[in-house]
Every structure is written in C-alpha cells, then in structure tokens.
Copies of this chain bind each other. A is one copy, B any other.
Amino acid sequence: MPRSAYELYYWPDIQGRGEFVRLALEDAGAAYADVARLPAAKGGGVDALMRFLQGRPHGLRPFAPPFLKSGRLVIAQTANILLYLGPRVGLAGRDDASRFGAHQLQLTVTDLVAEVHDTHHPIASALYYEAQKGEAKARAGSFVGERLPKFLGYFEQVLRDNGGRHMIGRRASYVDLSMFQLLAGLDYAFPKAMRRLAAKTRLLRALKERVEARERIAAYLASARRIAFNEDGIFRHYPELDL
C-alpha cells in the first residue's frame, strides 16, 4: 500500500458514516488511502479493516469503522476523526469556541444520522429491513413528522444565528461539508418530506449548493471515488418510509 498521510478504514461499498470523513479529506486535497477499497494485493480490502477490529491494535481498539490512521494514532468515531482532522487540514478553527462548537454541531449530525438509520432498522440492526417493515413505517412516521423538522429547524437557526454563510465561524469547516452530506442523504432517502421542508430550510439548501460547487468537492462528486447512495447504506430510499 502506498504511504499516505492518512489511512481511512471504512466499508468499501457504502457512503455511510465514512463519507463525512471522505468529504473532509477530499475538500482538503489531503493525501489519503481509502484502505478497504484498495486491492488486497496492495494491502487493502475488507480484511485489512477487520484485522484492526479483531487483532490487538497498535493503540486503542476501535469498536467499529470508520477509523483513521495518522502516524501511530488510530482514531475511531466519525466526529472524533473530524475533530482531529479539522484543524490539521484547514477545516476548523483552533480556538476553544470554534473547536468545541464545531464538534457540538458534528455530534448533533451524528445523532440525526443514528435516527435516520433507525427509520429502517427500529428493532434490530442484525435483522433485514423486510423483517421490521411495519415498525419501520411507524418509526419513520415520527421521524419525518417530528424529529426531522426539529433537527433541520435547529441547524437552519444555527446557520441564521451565524450570518447564513457557514455553520460556524467565517470560513468553510467540516461542519459545512457534513451539512451538505446530511441534506444529500436526506434528499435521497426522503425526497417528499424534504420538499415539504424546503421553505423552512432555505439557508441550508443554499449552503448545500455552495458546498457542492466547491472545486474539489465537485471533482470528487463527479469521480468514481464517490459511491452512489444505495440500500445497504444509512440513507436508504424506501418510498413507503417517505411519509
């Protein structure tokens, strides 16, 4: 495997939680390897990822992907990875208010992502969606009706409080990139619900357009490196859940 500054370990066939990290690395133009997507002959593949989860690692063992190797450090938990990467790749401020503020917003993104996952898996992650379809419909109803408007209303308000251009600070941060990814995923999974919410999320919609027009993000989204949304990921389009 070629040596890169960063090695990202995440499932190779979905955007999932790893995509929030990929976007930050891509926007920064960082040299990174997406290890599980490399051929096994080059030290990649899912086996390389599983070795970290099952074996005694160099440092602290991760509970689950994604995790990032940077020098001797192995850092797990999506928001924790971005907390680490942000100031190193120019996507976060370094003062306390910026660092803890950006991380607070990212953790709220994490919470919403977990609730999105549970719309299609309300009973058990280990069971297929088809085995929990009825419960999924009930959970998706409360998600689309209450939780989604509450979360997006909060993010819209935070963006308004901050002047409308960026989620935090006066420059683009990893939180802006994550907000793009969140809206892209929600648009894919819940297109009808998101159209209903469009008038109440005008600032977020405009932020999403600005992010996808960023040069490196646009190039990434047009490349084969960007995995398409699909029904193995977190954001799944099941029309019966788009209530």
A interface residue numbers (CB < 8 A to B) = 56, 59-63, 72-73, 75-77, 79-80, 83-84, 96-97, 100-101, 103-105, 107-108, 111, 114, 118, 122-127, 135, 138-139, 141-142, 146-147, 151, 154, 157-158, 161, 168
CB A202 to nearest CB in B, in angstroms, measures 18
Q: Would you call B80 and A100 a contact (CB within 8 A)?
A: yes
Q: Binding site of A, secondary structure by majority: helix, strand, loop or mixed?
A: helix
Q: Which residues of B contact A56 (CB under 8 A)?
A: 161
Complex CA gap A195/B97 in Å reads 44
The contact of A122 among B73, B83, B123, B151, by CB within 8 Å, is B123
Q: A77-B108, A154-B63 are in contact. Are A100 and B124 (CB under 8 A)?
A: no
Chain B: minimal CB distance from A176 (Å): 14
State whether A124 touches B146 (Cβ < 8 A): yes
Nearest B residue to A103, CB-CB: B80
Given pairs A63-B111, A118-B122, A124-B146, 15 additional interface contacts (CB within 8 A): A59-B97, A59-B101, A60-B158, A60-B161, A62-B104, A77-B104, A83-B100, A84-B96, A111-B114, A122-B123, A123-B135, A123-B138, A124-B139, A125-B147, A126-B142
Q: Shortest beta-carbon distance, A108 to chain B, in Å?
A: 5
Structural contact, A60 and B168, CB atoms closer than 8 A: yes
Contact, CB under 8 Å: A123 / B142: yes
Q: Are B97 and A73 in contact (CB under 8 A)?
A: yes
- The answer to whether B146 touches A126, judged by C-beta atoms less than 8 angstroms apart, is yes
**Cross-chain contact B122 with A104 (CB below 8 angstroms):** no
B100, A84: Cβ atoms under 8 Å? yes
B residues less than 8 Å from A158 (CB atoms) = 60-61
User: A75 CA to B122 CA in the complex, in Å?
Assistant: 30
Q: Which of B63, B107, B135, B161 contacts A135 (CB 8 A)?
A: B135
Q: How far is the CB of A43 from chain B (nearest CB, A)?
A: 24
Question: Which residues of B have CB within 8 Å of A135?
Answer: 122-123, 135, 138
Asked if B60 and A104 sit within 8 Å, CB to CB, the answer is: yes
Minimum CB–CB distance for A173 against chain B, Å: 12
